[in-house]
């Protein structure tokens, strides 16, 4: 294998693929990135056996070939090369090393045979559709904060994507950790209807988000019962799905909460943040007292102090008090795009619904804390 | 200063007016107030006291043929028997020993009576286990009209008079040295380590004398040539920190006889656990689960009794070759439910017990405690847990009223019949 590639093109592709490589690996080749040079492309691939990211970059290939080398050294070295550098890759047939050179810099890296690199079979993708990167990014952003990290209920460790009929076919994303739930939907793209419901793992979501930040063209999504594949321009992300069934989340979304509270979202989240200064590490509990046209936020932590703040609000139901985890309130407020956040409450012990005045296709459910 | 070991009087000569011939002498005797009291061969001594026919025999208290030695009397120790030794090994060393299953309830009651006698001297009593405790006697001189050393001599004799059990006492200026001292002169010992000789005393002691240095720790220290406490002191604080981080810095402080820990009567329990060694090694997952369940019930009952709930679950397994593995899991919320402890422990167990390895011991425990009132609330997706919590609370209530047999689960019956 011998080729020349422009540093920025190489760095972009390397940056996209290397983050999937686990820091510590018991299988040595999983620390490596697979490089395949053919035609006028250098294709880089990295995997942790659950996720595979592959990205092509334009290169001047003098001799086609394949090899693998440690991802972290390769990435760090290329990152430190000067902008605009022209990078040469060379593997002599009789040398078990990869030589990377740019200007006067040379790096020899040990290689492992490309034939040993595990590849993820890409068959059985029955559902295929396309979606705008901004729409997909929105579905991910509005839900991923609610993904659970609990290992017992492993089926909550991802975003549940599925289609529903809700005034027309929708592609819906849901995440929940049992204490909060986030739901966002988008008009179902052509071909998405009837796709199997899939749980996309947290790590895949994080990798996808990185790729989406650089994506401009339509994202091609292919789904099989075990796997999902996202093709974004030159990059392809393939991931195993979480093998489990997502709970019947619809029953935790309150339907008949009649007490409505409307607050300025920005003022509300700033006030929550301020009073939460003294909240207890473990519960992060904030009490909301709703009465007339104001809401009073209080944190009373015997170990730290008492913080309180009044906020004008639109509220006409009976006075009530309810407690929430401050971080959960801030997470939700962070996703609300409109000026106002709409709360629908029942009582201090029941789940509360939060809506975004500017986005009817998203909703959030928060379980209150006892205060 | 010299004190009579029989009547605690201060004396000038070699013989006390009370007739006592044993004395305690130390230059700093009047200035030391931190004590460690340790009952001598506690379970075995109680058994020997209650059954005089055992007197001439080596006595081992421990569980069954396959169990381990809980305690052994001093006679048994002369044969090399030690606590925590596997029973078969102990019986090989001392085949004519009398093995007694032991009666935990009796020992707990005895421990409670002795603790009450300590607490009559000072409220600053920090129990370490059923048969040992730290005491801080600072400021009790005026109350008792006696120095801490004198009060402790009286206590030691009073425990013998009232309970016919001997205890050993270590007196020093911090917990580490008090505990080290109590071990120096067993049984019925009274040892003192003062500020004057503390450094010289530690100098040649093996590193394993330090609290928190077990066999593995000793090996790790040995690797850098640190065999004696003096070696640690010579290495200096920077090198110790560089080699072992915070632990190294802590060991250096101890090597300088510096132990800032206070005697804390409310020293909180760090974990609640239960374990059992099997009659025969077990390899099948299902059989292990059957043994696991009653242990989970035991842990749950102890949590309930102390009104506490744990957030971290630990499963412990020891295989036939005595290799121990522990697996830990952070639970979604604090729990004190047997069913929940079991559900998580069994998942950890299933990942280990593949049917090939034979195990001889299994244990389960909870730690990271918080108040039981905040436990097992469930969440939006988990409506089962609160129901289970109500059920277990009702079972516990029935058992406290009608005895443990009042309510039994099918799974528990399965194992108890086999016992």
In terms of pLDDT, which residue wins out, B134 or B276?
Answer: B134
Query: Is it true that A2-116 and A253-366 share their CATH fold?
Result: yes
Say whether B297 is catalytic: no
Residue reference for tokens 């600053």:
B124
**Which residue has tokens 């911090």?**
B174
Long-range CB pairs of B403-407 (<8 Å, 24+ gap) are none
User: Mean of the pLDDT values across residues A233-254?
Assistant: 95
Percent of chain A with pLDDT over 70: 100
For residue B332, the chain A residues in CB contact (below 8 A) are: 150, 152-153, 178
Q: What is the pLDDT of residue B88?
A: 86
> Who among B344, B370, B379 is closest to A152 (CB)?
B344
pLDDT value for A72: 95
- Cβ pairs A/B, distance under 8 A: 31
Chain B residues with CB under 8 Å of A147 CB are none
Contacts of A156 in chain B (CB under 8 A): 381
Contact A152 B380 (CB under 8 A): no
**What SS3 state is found at A218?**
coil
Interface of A with B in 329-358 (CB under 8 A): 351
Check whether B419 has a pLDDT greater than 60.
no
Is it the case that residue B299 has pLDDT exceeding 90? yes
Would you call B331 an interface residue with chain A, using a CB distance cutoff of 8 Å? yes
Q: What is the rounded distance in angstroms from the CA atom of residue B153 to the CA atom of residue B381?
A: 61
With an 8 Å Cβ cutoff, are B381 and A176 in contact?
yes
The alpha-carbon gap from B252 to the nearest alpha carbon of chain A, in Å, equals 33
- Distance between CA atoms of A23 and A361, rounded to whole angstroms? 38
A282 CB neighbours in chain B (<8 A) are 370
The pairs formed by B234-242 with CB atoms below 8 angstroms and a separation of 24 or more are: none
Block residue for tokens 């030794």: B85
Q: Do A178 and B331 touch (CB under 8 A)?
A: no
Query: Which whole number is the average pLDDT over A91-105?
Result: 89
Average pLDDT, chain A: 94
Question: CA B65 from chain center: how many Å?
Answer: 23
Share of chain B above pLDDT 70, in %: 95
- Contacts for B197 with CB less than 8 Å, ≥ 6 apart: none
Identify which of A151, A178, A282 has the shortest CB distance to residue B381. Answer: A178
Residue A59 is predicted with a pLDDT of: 97
Evaluate whether B183 touches B194 at the Cβ level (below 8 Å).
Answer: no
pLDDT of residue B82 exceeding 80: yes
For residue B416, pLDDT beyond 50? no
From chain A, the residues in CB contact with B379 under 8 A are: 177-179, 367
**Closest among B169, B205, B208, B206 to B189, alpha carbons compared:** B169
Per the structure block, which two tokens stand in for B81?
């028997």
Position B417 pLDDT exceeds 50: no
Question: Is there a contact between B381 and A152 if contact means CB atoms under 8 Å apart?
Answer: no
Chain A CB within 8 Å of residue B344 CB: yes
Residue range A216-228: mean pLDDT, rounded: 94
- Token pair belonging to A32: 């490596």
The Cα A148–Cα A129 span in angstroms is: 27
Nearest-CA distance B368 → chain A (Å): 12
CATH number corresponding to A2-116: 3.10.150.10
Supply the DSSP string of A13-41, one letter for each residue: HHHHHHTTS-SS-SSGGGGEEEEEEETTE
CA dist., res. A55 & res. B49, Å (int) = 80
Q: Where are the beta strands (DSSP E) in B220-358?
A: 271-282, 308-319, 324-335
- In 10 A of CB A271, how many CB atoms? 22
> Cβ of A178 under 8 Å from any chain B Cβ?
yes
Bridge partners, A310 (sequence order):
A296
CATH architecture of A253-366: Roll (3.10)
Domain boundaries, chain A: 2-116, 127-250, 253-366
pLDDT band at B311 (very low <50, low <70, confident <90, very high): very high
Report cis status (omega within 30 of 0) of the bond before B207.
no
Average pLDDT over residues A209-231: 94
pLDDT at B404 over 70: no
CA distances from A3 to A108, A114, B52, B231, B245 (A): 15, 17, 91, 59, 47
Tell me: pLDDT of A129 over 90. Answer: yes
pLDDT above 70: residue A245: yes
Residue B280 has a CB neighbour count (10 Å cut-off) of: 9
Contact A146, A249 (CB under 8 A): no
Q: In chain B, what residues touch A351 (CB-CB under 8 Å)?
A: 380
B371 in A contact zone (CB under 8 Å) = no
Chain A residues lying within 8 Å of B342, measured CB to CB: none
- Phi, then psi, of A200 in degrees rounded to 5: -95, 120
Whether residue A252 and residue B344 make contact (CB cut-off 8 A), yes or no, is: no
Which of B332, B368, B375, B383 best probes binding to A when mutated, by most A CB atoms within 10 angstroms? B332
**B380 at A interface, C-beta within 8 A:** yes
Sign for the CA dihedral angle at A181, A182, A186, A191 comes to negative
B245 touches chain A (CB under 8 A): no
Query: Which of A192-201, A275-284, A313-322 has the least mean pLDDT?
Result: A275-284
Q: Above 70 in pLDDT, residue B289?
A: yes
A367 contact B CB<8A: yes
Write down all domains in chain B, each with its CATH number in brackets: 1-196 (3.30.70.270), 198-255 (1.10.150.20), 271-418 (3.30.1490.100)
Per mean pLDDT, which range of A233-242, B89-98, B211-220, B255-264 is the poorest? B211-220
Q: Are A322 and A369 in contact (CB under 8 A)?
A: no
| Residue B267 pLDDT | 66
CA distances B44 to B36, B69, B131, Å, are 20, 11, 12
Nearest CA in chain A to B347: A152
ipTM: 0.79
Cα separations in angstroms, B382 against A249, A257, A296, A348, B379: 11, 21, 31, 18, 5
Q: How confident is the model at residue B188 (pLDDT cuts 50, 70, 90)?
A: very high
Interatomic CA distance for residues A132 and B119, integer angstroms: 74
Main-chain phi, psi angles of A55, to 5 degrees = -145, 135
DSSP-assigned states of every residue in A259-309 = EEEEEEHHHHHHHHHHHGGG--TTT-EEEEEEETTEEEEEEEETTTEEEEE
Q: What is the rounded CA–CA span in Å between residue B293 and residue B411?
A: 7
Average pLDDT, rounded, for chain B: 89
Considering only alpha carbons, which residue of chain A is nearest residue B329?
A: A151
Question: Which residues in chain A are closer than 8 Å to B380, comparing Cβ atoms?
Answer: 176, 178-179, 181, 252, 351, 365, 367
Chain A contact for B315, CB < 8 A?
no
Q: Which of A154, A364, A160 is nearest to A257 (CA)?
A: A364
Please give the C-alpha separations between residue A349 and each of A187, A321, A345, A346, A370, in angstroms, as whole numbers: 34, 10, 10, 8, 7
**DSSP letters spanning A60-71:** EEEE-EEEEEEH
**What is the per-residue pLDDT for A180?**
96
Say which DSSP state A244 is in: S
B345, closest residue in chain A (CA to CA): A152
Interchain proximity B380–A151, CB inside 8 Å: no
Q: Out of A151, A179, A282, whose CB is closest to B379?
A: A179
Rounded-to-integer distance, Cα B314 and Cα B300, Å: 13
Beta bridge partners of B2: B25
User: Does pLDDT of A204 surpass 50?
Assistant: yes
| Buried-state track A189-202, b at ≥16 Cβ within 10 A, e below 16 | beebeebebbbbbb
Tell me the C-alpha distance between A31 and A41, whole Å. Answer: 22
Sheet holding B59-62, edge to edge: B69-72, B59-62, B98-100
Kindly list the strands in the beta sheet with A32-38, ordered across the sheet, starting from the edge strand earlier in the chain. A65-70, A32-38, A41-47, A51-58, A235-240, A227-232, A219-223, A127-131
Instruction: Please state, in angstroms and rounded to a whole number, the distance separating the CA atoms of residues B84 and A52.
Output: 50
For the stretch B39-77, pLDDT in tens is: 999 999 999 999 999 999 999 998 655 678 889 999 999
Span B285-301, average pLDDT: 93
Residue A279 pLDDT = 86
**Cβ contacts of A82 within 8 Å, gap of 6 or more:** A7, A102, A103
Question: Is beta strand A2-6 parallel, antiparallel or unpaired with respect to A86-90?
Answer: antiparallel
Chain B residues 96-125 with CB within 8 Å of chain A: none
SS3 B370: strand
Q: Residue B328: closest CA among chain A residues belongs to which residue?
A: A151
Q: If you compute the radius of gyration of chain A from its CA atoms, what whole number of angstroms results?
A: 25
Question: B228-278: per-residue pLDDT in tens?
Answer: 999 999 999 999 988 888 888 899 999 999 998 888 887 667 889 998 888
| More confidently predicted of B310 and A167 | B310
CB B84 within 8 A of CB B318: no
- CB A323 within 8 Å of CB A368: yes
Q: What is the tens place of the pLDDT at every residue in A344-370?
A: 999 999 999 999 999 999 999 999 987
Dig out the tokens for B203 from the structure: 């100098």
B381 touches chain A (CB under 8 A): yes
Buried b (16+ CB within 10 A) or exposed e, B193-214: bbeeebeebbeeeebebbeebe
Which residues of chain A neighbour B383 with C-beta distances below 8 Å? none
- Answer whether A289's CB lies under 8 Å from A319's CB: yes
Q: Closest partner residue to A252 among B344, B347, B380, by Cβ?
A: B380
Rounded mean pLDDT of B178-204? 94
CA-nearest of B229, B131, B220, B124 to B176 is B229
Q: What is the CATH number of domain A127-250?
A: 3.10.150.10
Chain A contact present for B373, CB below 8 A: no
Q: Is A247 on the interface with B (CB under 8 A)?
A: yes
Is the confidence at residue A295, as pLDDT, over 90? yes
* Residue B324, pLDDT score: 84
Tell me which DSSP letter residue A116 carries.
G
Q: If we measure between CA atoms, which residue out of A123, A85, A121, A91 comes closest to residue A104?
A: A85
**Per-residue pLDDT tens over the stretch B163-183:** 999 999 999 999 999 999 999
Instruction: Indicate the length of chain B as a whole number.
Output: 419
Q: Is the pLDDT of residue B26 over 50?
A: yes
Catalytic residue among B47, B110, B132, B289: B132
């Amino acid at each position: 294998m011998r080729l020349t590639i422009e540093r920025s093109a190489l760095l972009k592709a390397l940056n996209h693929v290397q983050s999937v490589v686990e820091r510590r690996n018991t299988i040595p080749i999983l620390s490596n990135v697979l490089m395949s040079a053919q035609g006028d492309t250098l294709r880089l691939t990295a995997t942790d056996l659950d996720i595979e990211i592959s990205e092509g970059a334009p290169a001047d290939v003098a001799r086609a070939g394949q090899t693998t080398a440690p991802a972290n050294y390769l990435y760090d070295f290329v990152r430190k090369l000067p902008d605009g550098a022209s990078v040469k890759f060379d593997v002599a047939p009789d040398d078990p090393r990869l030589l990377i050179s740019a200007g006067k810099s040379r790096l020899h890296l040990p290689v492992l045979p490309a034939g040993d690199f595990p590849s993820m079979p890409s068959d059985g993708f029955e559902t295929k559709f396309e979606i705008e990167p901004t729409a997909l990014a929105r579905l991910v952003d509005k839900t991923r904060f609610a993904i659970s990290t609990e290992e017992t209920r492993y089926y909550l460790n991802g975003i549940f994507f599925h289609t529903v009929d809700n005034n027309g076919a929708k592609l819906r994303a849901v995440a929940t950790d049992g204490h909060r739930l986030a739901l966002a939907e988008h008009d179902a793209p052509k071909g998405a209807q009837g796709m199997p419901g899939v749980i996309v793992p947290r790590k895949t979501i994080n990798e996808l988000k990185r790729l989406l930040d650089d994506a401009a063209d339509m994202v091609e999504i292919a789904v099989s019962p075990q796997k999902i594949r996202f093709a974004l321009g030159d990059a392809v992300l393939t991931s195993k799905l979480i093998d489990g069934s997502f709970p019947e989340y619809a029953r935790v979304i309150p339907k008949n909460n009649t007490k409505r509270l409307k607050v300025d979202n920005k003022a509300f989240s700033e006030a929550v943040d301020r009073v939460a200064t003294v909240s207890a590490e473990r519960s992060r509990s904030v009490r909301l007292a709703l009465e007339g046209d104001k809401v009073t936020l209080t944190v009373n932590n015997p170990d730290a102090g008492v913080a309180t703040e009044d906020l004008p609000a639109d509220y006409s139901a009976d006075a009530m008090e309810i407690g929430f985890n401050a971080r959960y309130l801030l997470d939700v407020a962070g996703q609300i795009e409109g000026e106002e956040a709409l709360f629908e409450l029942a009582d201090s012990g029941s789940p509360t619904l939060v809506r975004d005045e500017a986005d009817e296709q998203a909703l959030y459910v928060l379980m209150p804390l006892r205060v | 200063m010299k004190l009579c070991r029989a009547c605690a009087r201060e004396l000038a000569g070699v013989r006390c007016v009370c007739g006592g011939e044993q004395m305690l002498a130390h230059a700093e005797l009047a200035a030391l107030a931190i004590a460690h009291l340790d009952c001598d061969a506690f379970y075995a001594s109680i058994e020997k006291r209650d059954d005089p026919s055992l007197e001439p025999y080596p006595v081992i208290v421990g569980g069954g043929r396959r169990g381990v030695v809980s305690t052994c009397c001093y006679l048994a120790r002369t044969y090399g028997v030690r606590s925590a030794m596997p029973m078969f090994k102990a019986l090989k060393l001392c085949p004519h020993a009398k093995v007694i299953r032991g009666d935990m309830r009796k020992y707990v009651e005895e421990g409670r009576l002795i603790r009450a006698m300590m607490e009559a001297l000072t409220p600053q009593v920090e129990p370490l286990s059923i048969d040992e405790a730290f005491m801080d006697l600072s400021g009790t001189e005026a109350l008792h009209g006696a120095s801490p050393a004198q009060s402790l001599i009286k206590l030691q004799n009073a425990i013998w008079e009232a309970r016919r059990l001997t205890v050993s006492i270590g007196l020093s200026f911090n917990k580490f040295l008090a505990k080290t001292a109590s071990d120096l002169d067993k049984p019925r010992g009274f040892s003192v380590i003062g500020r004057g000789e503390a450094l010289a005393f530690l100098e040649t002691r093996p590193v394993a004398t330090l609290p928190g240095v077990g066999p593995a720790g000793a090996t790790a220290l040995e690797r850098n040539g640190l065999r004696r406490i003096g070696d640690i002191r010579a290495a200096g604080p920077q090198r110790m920190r560089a080699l072992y981080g915070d632990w190294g810095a802590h060991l250096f402080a101890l090597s300088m006889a510096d132990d800032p820990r206070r005697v804390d009567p409310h020293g909180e329990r760090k974990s609640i656990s239960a374990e059992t060694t099997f009659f025969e090694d077990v390899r099948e997952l299902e059989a292990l689960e059957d043994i696991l369940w009653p242990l989970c019930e035991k842990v749950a009952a102890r949590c309930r009794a102390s009104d506490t709930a744990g957030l971290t679950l630990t499963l412990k397994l020891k295989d036939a070759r005595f290799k121990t593995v522990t697996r830990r899991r952070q639970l979604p919320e604090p729990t004190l439910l047997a069913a929940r402890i079991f559900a998580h422990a069994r998942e950890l167990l299933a990942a280990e017990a593949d049917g090939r390895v034979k195990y001889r011991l299994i244990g389960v425990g909870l730690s990271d405690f918080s108040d039981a009132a905040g436990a097992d609330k469930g969440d939006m997706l988990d409506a089962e847990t609160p129901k289970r919590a109500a059920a277990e609370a009702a079972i516990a209530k029935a058992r406290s009223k009608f005895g443990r047999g009042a309510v039994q689960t099918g799974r528990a019956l399965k194992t108890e019949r086999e016992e």
